[in-house]
Structure 1
Amino acid sequence: MEFARRYIRIVDSMNRVIGRIVMYGIFVMMGILLWSSISKTFFLPSLWTLEMAQFAMVAYYMLGGPYSIQMGSNVRMDLLYGEWSDRRKSQIDAITVLFLITYLGFLLWGGIDSTLYSFKYGGERSPTAWRPYLWPIKVIMVTGIFLMLLQAISEMFKDILRLKGERYPREELN
């Protein structure tokens, strides 16, 4: 169980730092969309703004996902869950997180395959007028999925530690 505690400490710390940095990406998106509005109103419209805002949103969402999981701010179906004891919640979470880990594993596999395809064929490009290379956003997506997978495993370890009656590092930090 010492491995689990160390794993939780490392993964949670890493995802907390990344999440706190990435959350300021909202200002990047606001800046891009503000420039888009200004350029469409007063100048010639920029070709890159809409797609760049989409790429910034993907980075924001994918790299912020692990932090969201860690903070428990993901969407939950709370019909019964809110009334359960902490032990019962940990039991259910320890089982359901296995579905998340499986899903993220398949997503990571497909993401890596898609990214390698993008590199292999001389740089896959978007079919828009701007035509940016897609590999940078694919690398960000694969990184985000990998970090979410690591965080999901951390959450599983936390549930197991809770079921054993132990505290885990996040409880000690808060």
Structure 2
Amino acid sequence: MPGWVIRTVRIVEGFNYYVGRAAMLLFFALGAILLWSIIAKAFFRPPLWTQEMSQFTLVAYFMLGGAYALQLGANVRMDLLYQRWSPRRRAMVDAVTVFAMILFLGVIIWGGLDSVIYALEVGERSRSVWRPYLAPVKIIIVTGAAMMLLQSVCFLIRDIAFLRGKEF
């Protein structure tokens, strides 16, 4: 593999690692939002923003942590056959099946970009009483899908390198 490819894979994986680790902290933000919602409903007037804010926080947690979860191998896989295969056969199957994931993520990004552009142009807001702008959460969704797409390409490069006998 050329040196620039190896450097690019390491940069992408390093970026995904640090963003994923930072996204883990959103779990605590989600807990704080839900705790405030419970306390406010019990003692004060119920807040209008907590339900949607908790949904947006969960979307950010899930999407920004997706590439990191892929790195860790925390994704769902049919281990019934996969665990019995040799590392070489796993790499061959992964090198072929990764294209389904790349296609899926590409479609999400393509549709998501149209949705982000629309939300920014129109100033799209939620239909709830709180009416937050939807562009930030849509940008996070597209960014998370792009990070997972780049991580998938890194997997493909690593599998090809392994099959050529040049692991890195």
TM-score normalized by the length of structure 2: 0.97
Q: 1:113 maps to what in 2?
A: 114
- What per-residue deviation string (whole Å, max 9, x for no partner) do you get for residues 53-104 of structure 1? 0000000000000111111111112120010000000000000001101111
- Find the residue that maps to 1:124 and give its secondary structure: coil
Query: Match of 1:116, as an amino acid?
Result: I
Is 1:146 the counterpart of 2:140 in the alignment? Answer: no
Deviation at 1:46, TM superposition (A): 0.4
Cα separation, 2, equivalents of 1:114 and 1:128? 19
How far is the alpha carbon of 1:151 from its aligned partner?
0.6
Instruction: Verify: 1:31 aligned to 2:22, yes or no.
Output: no
* AA partner of residue 63 (structure 2): M
CA distance in 2, matches of 1:165, 1:20: 31
Q: Distance in 2 between matches of 1:109 and 1:128?
A: 27
4+ residue runs over 6 A deviation: none
What percentage of residue pairs aligned between the two structures are identical? 51
The Cα of 1:45 is off from its aligned counterpart by 0.4
| Aligned mates of 2:152, 2:24 — CA distance in 1 | 20
Gaps of 5+ in 2: none
The CA RMSD measured in Å over matched residues stands at 0.8
Query: Which residue is 1:171 aligned to?
Result: none
> Within 5 Å, which residues of 2 pair with 1:1-174?
1-2=1-2, 3-121=4-122, 123-168=123-168
Extract unaligned runs of 5+ from structure 1. 169-174
The two structures have a TM-score, normalised by structure 1, of: 0.94
Deviation at 1:29, TM superposition (A): 0.3
Following the alignment from structure 2 to structure 1, what is the Cα–Cα distance between the partners of residues 148 and 57?
A: 18
Residue type of the alignment partner of 2:151: Q
Aligned-partner residue type, residue 82 of structure 2: Y
State the 1:15 CA deviation.
0.5
Give the Cα–Cα distance (whole angstroms) in 2 for the partners of residues 154 and 33 of structure 1: 36
Measured in 2, the distance between the counterparts of 1:150 and 1:96 equals 15
Letter in 2 for 1:140: I
Deviation of 1:4 after TM superposition, in Å, equals 2.7
Letter in 2 for 1:130: W
Q: Give the C-alpha shift of residue 124 in structure 1.
A: 0.5
| Aligned length in residues | 167
